[in-house]
């Protein structure tokens, strides 16, 4: 049965928010006064009162976020007090145990995280023990909205206190780099599950479902915090990523969640936050994973992002090589061997996956798999434009990796012919694009981009080695005359 997270109308919710913010300010003042006179027990009591406001179930995600930010601002004062106590030689273990006396679960866990972060910094206890304790303790909050923000706070509080490779927490025996990976992956997995539960809820009160879904989608950024931090760890080398990080990310987090929105977001994050060379090393694994995603995931968008990263890496490699020849320094990306044979093999892998994606999208157009919840064909439009963008991106990839040497031109034109031919095949399989003006314009825009890219890059001789370009030009409003001209040149040759 659907859970209604709040039942107030908009004005009623604003009144609740106003009262909660006022309470946070009032209790925060009392907390600060107590801590200024070193009345620790009273300070902890008022800190818990501030945090109690986060227990509400009457606020939508947007308003809860506003309340959360105000609470965290007050909590920073308590954090500063804890840091001063640590610097003065007070036992963080004792304070860590003391805040656990708070009667309410949510305030107690926020206080535990706040003190726990300083506890790790003090190195009284190995970091891995405190991290394990925290990540297990906060499982006690299973309310999706409250739990999501609590885990986000945990991630931010300890982001610079993990036993990363070469960090003081690793070197002092506080844990291994594997402990840091385990913590971040576990927190990511739990945060992702909470977000999935949240986006499956229905709006209550007078708020529309569309507004609710929009606000929930904005909260997905909280899910990516642990993933971004994972990518920033010094110990995540290419081999560590391949052997320890990516397999667990894909199998234990992405594929395990069985939610299309979460899978879409997580795969996009993985492609964006990790270095290009990591993707080259693990291309096959990534492509295999794309085939295992939920049927209504827009795989074309994910694959387009991946191809763009690989293309930009090649372009950066060329620029870095030029600079390196002058300055004797070459960017990390340029360490990838400039091997056109390898580039062509990668292209073939991407092309094979693109064909599968286009076939999958064609099924959507036939209504066999994904249907728009609104019934207006929106999903079909998204699939159509996404696949066309993928073909455009593949052309850029082929030119970036296969252009430049005369005897490689046949390989380049072969690749370009494959892209255009499969693009035309995809369009022929789409039954509705030419009947709807908006879709027709989207198709023509993509075809124009494909055509102009080839016309700018290739000589007339090489253009004639891409026969499908004539068919593409023939679909353009101005295509007939240009296509006839090219055919005439072909006959003359």
Q: What is the pLDDT of residues 431-462, one digit of tens each?
A: 677 777 888 888 999 999 999 999 998 888 88
The size of the chain, in residues, is 493
Last residue of a domain, one of 186, 219, 252: 219
Looking at the fold, whether 24 and 130 belong to one and the same domain comes out as yes
Which strand (E) or helix (H) includes residue 271? Answer: helix 260-273
pLDDT, tens only, 255-290: 999 999 999 999 999 999 999 999 999 999 999 999
Looking at the fold, whether 20 and 153 belong to one and the same domain comes out as yes
Per DSSP, 287 falls in state H
| Token output for 247 | 């397999």
| Token output for 41 | 């027990």
Last residue of a domain, one of 168, 185, 219: 219
| Token output for 345 | 């093999």
Looking at the fold, whether 32 and 139 belong to one and the same domain comes out as yes
pLDDT for the residue numbered 409: 60
Per DSSP, 4 falls in state -
Looking at the fold, whether 306 and 210 belong to one and the same domain comes out as no
The CB-based long-range contact list for 49-53 (8 Å cut-off, 24+ gap) reads 49/23, 49/107, 50/23, 50/24, 50/74, 50/75, 50/107, 51/75, 51/104, 51/106, 51/107, 51/110, 51/111, 52/104, 52/106, 52/107, 53/20, 53/23, 53/24
Quote the pTM value.
Answer: 0.87
Which strand (E) or helix (H) includes residue 193? Answer: helix 177-199
Domains identified in the chain, total number: 2
Contact 43, 35 (CB under 8 A): yes
Comparing 7 with 389, the larger pLDDT belongs to: 389
Q: Please tell me the distance from the alpha carbon of residue 270 to that of residue 436, in angstroms, as a whole number.
A: 35
pLDDT for the residue numbered 180: 95
Residue 224 lies in a domain: no
Residue 77 lies in a domain: yes
Looking at the fold, whether 96 and 204 belong to one and the same domain comes out as yes
Residue 443 lies in a domain: yes
**Range(s) of the domain holding residue 415:** 294-324+333-493
Looking at the fold, whether 199 and 307 belong to one and the same domain comes out as no
Last residue of a domain, one of 219, 237, 256: 219
Contact 169, 120 (CB under 8 A): yes
């Amino acid at each position: 049965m659907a859970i209604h997270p709040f039942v107030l109308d908009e004005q009623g919710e604003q009144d609740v928010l106003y009262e909660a913010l006022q309470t946070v300010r009032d209790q925060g003042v009392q907390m600060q006064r107590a801590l200024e006179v070193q009345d620790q027990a009273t300070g902890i009591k008022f800190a818990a009162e501030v945090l109690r406001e986060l227990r509400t179930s009457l606020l939508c995600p947007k308003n809860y976020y506003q309340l959360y930010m105000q609470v965290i601002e007050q909590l920073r004062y308590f954090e500063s007090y804890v840091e001063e106590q640590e610097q003065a030689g007070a036992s963080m273990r004792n304070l860590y145990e003391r805040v656990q006396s708070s009667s309410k679960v949510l305030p107690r866990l926020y206080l535990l995280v706040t003190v726990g972060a300083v506890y790790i910094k003090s190195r009284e206890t190995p970091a891995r023990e405190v991290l394990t304790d925290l990540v297990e303790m906060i499982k006690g909050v299973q309310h999706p909205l409250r739990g999501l923000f609590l885990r986000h706070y945990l991630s931010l509080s300890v982001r610079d206190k993990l036993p990363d490779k070469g960090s003081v927490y690793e070197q002092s025996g506080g844990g291994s780099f594997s402990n840091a990976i385990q913590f971040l992956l576990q927190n990511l997995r739990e945060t992702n599950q909470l977000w999935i539960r949240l986006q499956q809820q229905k709006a209550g009160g007078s708020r529309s479902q569309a507004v609710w879904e929009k606000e929930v989608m904005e909260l997905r950024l909280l899910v990516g915090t642990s993933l971004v931090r994972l990518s920033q760890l010094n110990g995540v080398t290419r081999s560590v990523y391949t052997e320890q990080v990516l397999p667990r990310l894909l199998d234990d987090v992405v594929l395990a969640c069985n939610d299309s929105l979460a899978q879409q977001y997580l795969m996009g994050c993985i492609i964006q936050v990790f270095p290009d060379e990591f993707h080259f090393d693990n291309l096959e694994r990534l492509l295999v994973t794309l085939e295992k995603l939920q049927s209504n995931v827009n795989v074309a968008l994910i694959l387009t992002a991946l191809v763009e990263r690989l293309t930009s890496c090649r372009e950066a490699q060329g620029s870095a090589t030029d600079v390196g020849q002058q300055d004797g320094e070459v960017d990390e990306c340029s360490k990838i061997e400039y091997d056109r044979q390898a580039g062509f093999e990668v292209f073939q892998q991407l092309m094979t996956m693109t064909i599968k994606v286009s076939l999958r999208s064609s099924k959507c157009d036939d209504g066999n798999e994904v249907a728009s919840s609104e019934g207006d064909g929106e999903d079909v439009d998204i699939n159509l434009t996404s696949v066309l963008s993928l073909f455009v991106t593949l052309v850029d990839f082929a030119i970036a990796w296969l252009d430049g040497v005369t005897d490689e031109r046949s390989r380049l034109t072969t690749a370009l012919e494959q892209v255009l031919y499969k693009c035309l095949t995809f369009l022929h399989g789409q039954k509705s694009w030419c009947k709807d003006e908006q879709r027709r314009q989207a198709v023509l825009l993509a075809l124009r981009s494909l055509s102009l890219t080839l016309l700018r890059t290739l000589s007339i001789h090489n253009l004639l080695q891409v026969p499908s370009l004539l068919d593409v030009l023939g679909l353009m409003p101005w295509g007939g005359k240009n296509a006839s001209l090219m055919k005439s040149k072909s006959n003359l040759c």
